[in-house]
Amino acid sequence: MEPRIRFCTSADGTRIAYATLGQGPPLMFVPPWAATLEFNWDSPDSRAVLESLSQHRLYVSFDRRGVGASQREVDDFSLEAQVADVAAVADHLQLERFDLWGMLDGAAVSITYAAQHPERLSRLVLWAAYPCGVEIVRPGAARSLVELIRGNWSLARRAIADVVFPSGPTDLQRWFSNSLRQSISPEVAAQCVEFFATVDVRPFLPRVSAPTLVFHRRGDRDVPISAGRAAAALIPDARFVALEGDMDDPYLGDTSYLETMTQFLDEGRASPAAPPELPSGTAVILFADIADSTALTERLGDAAFRGKARELDTALRSAIRECSGTPVEGKLLGDGVLAVFTSARRAIEAALLCGSAGASAGLPLHLGIHAGDVIREEDPDGRANVYGGAVNIAARIAGVSAPGEVLVSDTVRGLARTSAGVTFDDRGEQSLKGVSEPVRLFAVGEGARG
């Protein structure tokens, strides 16, 4: 499921773009200045890491101020302002306590937040951290790069890409250079480089009280491993792990560190809760089905279609869980997914997310929602399932929806009319196959209530 970008406002009024993925104990990532939400998700390597980390936790990341989808027109790039951005995202998501993961200059921001807000932090993970910029970047080199950025942004982007990906490949370097062109202005890039090269967190390192894990690649050419060891040595009881490789990017090369990181984050934490039991009694039922799957199979071929359908199934179930729903694992309805909710509003939110996922995958969905009594039973294979007339009606409603459209019954519209934040377009009473009485249907539209 592709993360949805949302926005919050930092203490100085700067708009910060953030995204979430998965659910569970929260882990916030503070990226280096040159990374963006879009870049990290578009790369198959980084996407695999994000999906791994979000399997049993709520993964939160954001674009740094002046970068990507965050507000571009920014003057203040101080450490204080950037720490306030972390606080703004945490406060907006109402995270009472969370884990924090920072990389490169994002590690400096994370260290400072950890020192200043120990009551909010559970655990801290650092990647390619360093205590002081002037100790790893020669002042003359930093000045030369800043001058190059302001004088020849195209050449500077290529130089930065060569530093970030010293081993290539060239297509990745070109992609990163193009990402810089789209996501950041030369002036902001110059200020970010100055921050990277001058930030000093030595006063904050001894004040970090959260359990801390520090990763560093042995051959890192951007930040030498000695800097990572020095940062870890100044944090009380920090653990330092040296990794093989020469890239400072955690998404490329050996990613076996994820197991160590996951174990560290889960220390002292209860095992993931068992999936919620499916309800008996009244529930809100969402049915999603791939539109015209027969034609798509003929056009794509069996193997390609099934591969895309499996990926979409994973995305749909993630969206359902994100909206506090329960996908029915025991029901494999051809190319359909069935889920139950206790809230009509959350069911509609999930349906809209599912519709977006289907459109992105090139597999548009029929989507229908109804509410009524269901019966919980176990299939012969032991998996939980739900049955009842309300389930059949939800499937029939989905069947008459247009591809990508979310249709809901009048019952669901009545439950969500004042809380869902969407519009409802009356489609009138419709006869549904196998249903004795016509059902009044409404099409859901995104936007303010009319």
What pLDDT, in 10s, does the model give residues 208-257?
A: 999 999 999 998 878 999 999 999 999 999 999 999 887 777 877 778 89
Tell me, what's the pLDDT at 332? 40
Cα 307 to Cα 427: distance, rounded to the nearest angstrom: 35
254 in helix, strand or coil? coil
Domain match, 347 and 213 both: no
Domain match, 380 and 286 both: yes
Are 326 and 347 in contact by the 8 Å Cβ rule? The answer is no
Domain-located, residue 315: yes
End-to-end Cα, the chain, rounded Å? 29
Range of the domain at 139: 4-266
Are 77 and 14 in contact by the 8 Å Cβ rule? The answer is no
The two counts, helices (H) then strands (E), for the chain are 15, 16
Domain match, 196 and 57 both: yes
Domain-located, residue 362: yes
Domain match, 61 and 100 both: yes
Number of domains in the chain: 2
Tell me, what's the pLDDT at 142? 86
Site of tokens 């299939």: 379
> CA torsion angle for 238, 242, 245, 247 (degrees, to 10)?
20
Strand ranges, E, within 38-181: 58-62, 98-103, 121-127
Classify 134 in phi/psi space as left (phi over 0), alpha (psi -120 to 50) or beta: alpha
Tell me, what's the pLDDT at 280? 55
What pLDDT, in 10s, does the model give residues 157-172?
A: 988 888 777 666 677 7
Domain match, 47 and 180 both: yes
Domain match, 245 and 337 both: no
CA 59 centroid distance within chain = 6
Residue 9: CB atoms within 10 Å: 14
Q: Residue 299: is it exposed, middle or buried by C-beta count within 10 angstroms (0-12/13-18/19+)?
A: exposed
Residue 183 sits in a domain of what CATH number? Answer: 3.40.50.1820
Domain-located, residue 273: no
Are 124 and 211 in contact by the 8 Å Cβ rule? The answer is yes
Domain-located, residue 276: no
Domain-located, residue 271: no
Residue 325 sits in a domain of what CATH number? Answer: 3.30.70.1230
Tell me, what's the pLDDT at 22? 84
Domain match, 243 and 354 both: no
Domain-located, residue 420: yes
Domain match, 72 and 128 both: yes
Q: Where are the alpha helices (DSSP H) in 165-249?
A: 170-183, 186-198, 225-234
Domain termination residue (choose one: 237, 266, 295): 266
Tell me, what's the pLDDT at 333? 41
Domain match, 322 and 364 both: yes
Domain match, 400 and 324 both: yes
Domain-located, residue 274: no
Contacts of 147 (CB under 8 A, 6+ apart): none
Domain match, 185 and 259 both: yes
Spell out the long-range contacts of 272-278 with Cβ–Cβ below 8 A and sequence spacing 24 or more: 272/24, 272/56, 275/326, 275/329, 276/326, 277/376, 277/384, 278/326, 278/328, 278/340, 278/374, 278/376, 278/384, 278/385, 278/386
Cα 431 to Cα 437: distance, rounded to the nearest angstrom: 7
pLDDT values of the chain reduced to their tens digit, one per residue, 450 residues:
566 788 999 999 999 999 998 888 999 999 998 888 887 777 777 888 888 888 888 999 999 999 999 999 999 999 999 999 999 999 999 998 999 999 999 999 999 999 999 999 999 999 999 999 998 888 788 899 999 999 999 999 988 888 777 666 677 788 788 888 888 999 999 999 999 999 999 999 999 999 999 999 998 878 999 999 999 999 999 999 999 887 777 877 778 899 999 999 998 665 554 445 555 568 899 999 998 888 888 888 877 887 788 788 888 888 888 888 888 864 444 467 899 998 899 999 999 999 998 998 889 999 999 998 888 776 554 556 778 888 899 999 999 999 999 999 999 998 887 666 789 999 999 999 888 889 999 999 876 443
Tell me, what's the pLDDT at 284? 92
Domain termination residue (choose one: 266, 301, 322): 266
Domain-located, residue 272: no
Cα 322 to Cα 338: distance, rounded to the nearest angstrom: 15
Domain match, 297 and 421 both: yes
Domain termination residue (choose one: 222, 240, 266): 266
